[in-house]
Amino acid sequence: MRPPISPDSVKQLFTEARSHHHWSDQPVTPDTLRAIYELMKWGPTSVNSMPARLLFVQSAAEKEKLVPCVMGSNVEQIRTAPVTAIVAFDERFFAHSKKLFPAYDATELFANDARLSEATAFRNSSMQGAYMMFAARALGLDVCPMSGFDNALVDQSFFQGTTWKSNFLCTLGYGDESKLYPRGPRLSFDESCRIV
Ligand SMILES: Cc1cc2nc3c(=O)[nH]c(=O)nc-3n(C[C@H](O)[C@H](O)[C@H](O)COP(=O)(O)O)c2cc1C
């Protein structure tokens, strides 16, 4: 048994954490991006498959390559955020299965079943993207996940000739709290949950 984390940590991760659309000038260093990965990598994935791949877009030139792929107000958010992660998955993630789950080699299982490998890659990379967001929050950063973009164009612009495919985008940085709009409500427990 472990004690619950502190109320301040709960606030930082959940109740006071916001999706930020405006950013302070504070940069995000490569060491911080590594630190985020070193936390998120421990999140569970099915048969420890770890299909997520991350491309951290940081330079002005690479940001401009991303701009035509995104919609509406996301353009300005990408330009102004210190970093945008392209949360992707490797279609051939199971090339690492033997190493990652030595108790049972799932390589052939995935290699012979495209529907299973696609569902596994998408489900688990989505989860790993969420682990990334909460790892970033745990380290004091803010994030904004984004689905307002053209996946095919991102794949063509950044992953052509590879087995990586984009899942979602996520800006990372230190948010400007003064520009937050009032928080949206959430569904209650009774609206969202059943105990049977
Ligand atoms: C999968 C996903 C896609 C989203 N897409 C966008 C987007 O394209 N642009 C944007 O500005 N915000 C986007 N958001 C942010 C949501 O609008 C935001 O998380 C939600 O309104 C809750 O806001 P809060 O975290 O500040 O309470 C997205 C969030 C998620 C999880």
Distance 56 CA to ligand 1 centre (A): 19
Q: Which domain holds residue 44?
A: 7-192
- Report the CATH number that the domain containing residue 115 is assigned in CATH: 3.40.109.10
Split into its structural domains, the chain has a count of 1
pLDDT tens digits, 145-183: 999 999 999 999 999 999 999 999 999 999 999 999 999
Q: Choose the residue to mutate in 76, 123, 141, 146 for probing ligand 1, maximizing ligand atoms within 8 Å of C-beta.
A: 146
On whether residue 57 sits in a domain, the answer given is: yes
**Ligand 1: residue whose CA is nearest its atom 18:** 19
Asked if residue 24 is part of any domain, the answer here is: yes
Is the C-beta atom of 84 inside 6 A of ligand 1? no
Model pLDDT, residue 59: 98
Instruction: Dump pLDDT digits (tens) for 21-39.
Output: 999 999 999 999 999 999 9
Q: 145 CB under 6 A from ligand 1? A: yes
In a domain, 2, yes or no: no
Domain contains 155: yes
pLDDT at 148: 98
Task: Give yes or no for a contact between 96 and 63, defined as CB atoms under 8 angstroms apart.
Answer: no
Predicted pLDDT of residue 53? 99
Distance CA 143, CA 83 (A): 10
Quick check: is 137 in a domain? yes
On whether residue 160 sits in a domain, the answer given is: yes
Structure tokens that stand for 57 in this block: 């877009």
Q: What is the mean pLDDT of residues 67-88?
A: 98
> Does any domain span residue 143?
yes
For residue 78, is it within any domain?
A: yes
pLDDT score for 80: 97
Average pLDDT over residues 86-111: 97
Per-residue pLDDT, 107: 97
What per-residue confidence (pLDDT) applies to 137? 99
Q: What is the pLDDT of residue 88?
A: 99
**pLDDT the model gives residue 52:** 99
For the Cβ of 168 lying below 6 angstroms from any atom of ligand 1, the answer is yes
